[in-house]
Amino acid sequence: MPFRLSVFLLYFLLTFSASISQTLIDRIVAVVDKEIITESELQERVNFVAMQNRVDATKPELKSQILESMVAEKLILAQALIDSIEITDEQVSQALDQQLQNIVRQLGSTERVEQYYGKPINRIKREFRDEMRKQLLVQRVRQAREATLSVSRREVEEFYATYKDSLPRVPEEFTVSHLFMVPKADSAVELQTRRKLQGILDSIRAGSSFEDFARRYSQDGSAAGGGDLGWVRRGDFVREFEEVVFSLKENEISNLVKTQYGYHVIQLAGRRGESVRARHILLRIEKGAASDSVAARALRALRDRALKGESFADLAKQYSEDEETKPLGGDLGILTTDQLTADFASVVKEMKQGEISDAHRVTLGASYGFQIIWLRKRTPSHEMTLAQDFSRVEQLALYLKRNRENQEWVNELRKNIYWEIRL
């Protein structure tokens, strides 16, 4: 969901950062079947949990607990392999694409993600495919076991009676919808970008070095490496780019290609089965104040229509450019303050129930845009009760039941699958 600060994404960032930076010498702290857990992996998980729960990361008992949970995950992975559960390459690609798109939202742009890791998105995807496949296997096994679990009303009431004094306070909640638009580049600016890249292309075709021009002019994270994107399989590029790169002959250079990132010139450096090695030069289409003003005015006009009685949801379905929420009429669901980015929360917190905000700037995906927000409902913070929060209490009771049954299952797996802790 847009604008939510995802805990999983932060963990994805931390674990992936560890996985691509490990040295060859890294102490093994546990072995489960054919899998290992290294000390660096364990420490990254400990740091993450300590940060999320605001506890001391140096406590030995915390490290021990985290290691036990990691061993449990590896046991479930081993069982998935024993059960011959399959995850297709397409499913891995889709899951990886989704997670990286969400990380781009969190960090603000593709460039920031590439700067964070010091390599292009496509290389990041290649290097994390195996880990993503393992995550999907574990997820598939757990989902299959948990699909039939449920809690009765009596179990919910018993759970509440037992734990009501320790249940967390329900934070203030906002039920919101939004209508989002991306500023369109001025046609003159786009034409200027095309002409500049066409000049670069003409120079390369006249004998200049593709790699040299990529280093000098490309606005992509791959520029330092001469535009080299490494070896990539089908599904790792956006559609427009992929259609061109897989149609090229070795050493052939494309015409200008437009994608969501800007204009590209692509060179096919090599082909190996269903994998290709490509170089590219990217020029982004810059947007200015005039483009921003046009988007903001369009949103204000739609706001006026909603205030005069037109359905906000219908307007969002027709005009919003957030493809994730557009089919839902712009519905962002129920959010708490800590689930909102700063530029979003600063507006929502000042609104009254039923209000529609003025147009304001926000980040989304690899770009930025403008949006208007409809605050459909505002629920004050309160103590959790069965009468007001039954569904929330039900989910907590179900979560506890799942944890207990999963722990019993993992204990059985420990009897049948080899594991050893070496810490």
For CA atoms 105, 109, 114, 117, give the dihedral sign.
Answer: negative
Enclosing H/E stretch for 35: strand 35-38
Give 99's pLDDT tier (boundaries 50, 70, 90). Answer: confident
Q: Are 93 and 351 in contact (CB under 8 A)?
A: no
Residue 3, pLDDT > 80, answer no
CA dist 391 and 386 (Å) reads 8
CA dist 270 and 289 (Å) reads 42
Do 55 and 143 share a domain, yes or no?
Answer: yes
- Per-residue confidence (pLDDT) for residue 130, from 0 to 100: 87
Residue 206 lies in a domain: yes
Residue 404 lies in a domain: no
The dihedral region occupied by 160, where left means phi > 0, alpha psi between -120 and 50, and beta the remainder, is alpha
Do 177 and 306 share a domain, yes or no?
Answer: yes
> Torsions phi, psi of 213, nearest 5?
-70, -35
- Per-residue confidence (pLDDT) for residue 33, from 0 to 100: 93
Number of domains making up the chain: 3
For CA atoms 245, 251, 257, 260, give the dihedral sign.
Answer: positive
Q: Are 22 and 38 in contact (CB under 8 A)?
A: yes
Do 320 and 348 share a domain, yes or no?
Answer: yes
CA dist 371 and 364 (Å) reads 10
- Per-residue confidence (pLDDT) for residue 102, from 0 to 100: 72
Which of 228, 254, 283 is where one domain is finished? 283
- HSE at residue 408, side-chain half, CA atoms within 13 A, is 6
Q: Which residues contact 195 (CB under 8 A, 6 or more apart)?
A: none
Residue 186, pLDDT > 70, answer yes
Residue 6, pLDDT > 50, answer no
Which of 242, 257, 283 is where one domain is finished? 283
The dihedral region occupied by 259, where left means phi > 0, alpha psi between -120 and 50, and beta the remainder, is beta
Residue 15 lies in a domain: yes
Residue 398 lies in a domain: no
Cut 0.85: pTM above it: no
Whichever domain contains 233, its CATH number is 3.10.50.40
Do 137 and 22 share a domain, yes or no?
Answer: yes
pLDDT tens digits, residue range 320-339?
Answer: 998 889 999 999 999 988 88
Give 21's pLDDT tier (boundaries 50, 70, 90). Answer: very low
Do 77 and 139 share a domain, yes or no?
Answer: yes
Do 366 and 338 share a domain, yes or no?
Answer: yes
More reliable by pLDDT, 164 or 50: 164
Nearest-5° angle of CA 134, CA 77, CA 137? 45
pLDDT tens digits, residue range 201-250?
Answer: 999 999 999 999 999 999 988 898 999 998 888 877 888 999 999 999 99
CA dist 83 and 389 (Å) reads 39
Residue 241 lies in a domain: yes
- Per-residue confidence (pLDDT) for residue 23, from 0 to 100: 44
CA dist 348 and 358 (Å) reads 11
Do 14 and 137 share a domain, yes or no?
Answer: yes
- Per-residue confidence (pLDDT) for residue 108, from 0 to 100: 65
Pairing of strands 275-283, 262-272: antiparallel
Whichever domain contains 60, its CATH number is 1.10.4030.10
Host domain of residue 365: 173-184+288-379
Q: Determine what percent of the chain is predicted with pLDDT higher than 90.
A: 57
Enclosing H/E stretch for 196: helix 187-205
Q: Which residues contact 337 (CB under 8 A, 6 or more apart)?
A: 171, 172, 174, 345, 349
DSSP E strands in 155-274: the ranges are 173-181, 228-233, 257-259, 262-272
Residue 160 lies in a domain: no
Q: Which amino acid is at 74?
A: K
Do 143 and 238 share a domain, yes or no?
Answer: no
CA dist 126 and 107 (Å) reads 20
Residue 270 lies in a domain: yes
Q: How far is CA 384 from CA 339, 368, 392, in A?
A: 19, 37, 8
Q: CB-based burial of residue 95 (10 Å sphere; 0-12 exposed, 13-18 middle, 19+ buried)?
A: middle
Residue 412 lies in a domain: no
For CA atoms 405, 409, 410, 414, give the dihedral sign.
Answer: positive
Q: Which amino acid is at 382?
A: H
Q: Which residues contact 128 (CB under 8 A, 6 or more apart)?
A: 16, 19, 20, 96
More reliable by pLDDT, 252 or 50: 252
Residue 18, pLDDT > 70, answer no
The dihedral region occupied by 252, where left means phi > 0, alpha psi between -120 and 50, and beta the remainder, is beta
**CA-based max dimension of the chain:** 79
Residue 139, pLDDT > 70, answer yes
Do 215 and 137 share a domain, yes or no?
Answer: no
CA 71 to chain centroid: 26
Residue 74, pLDDT > 50, answer yes
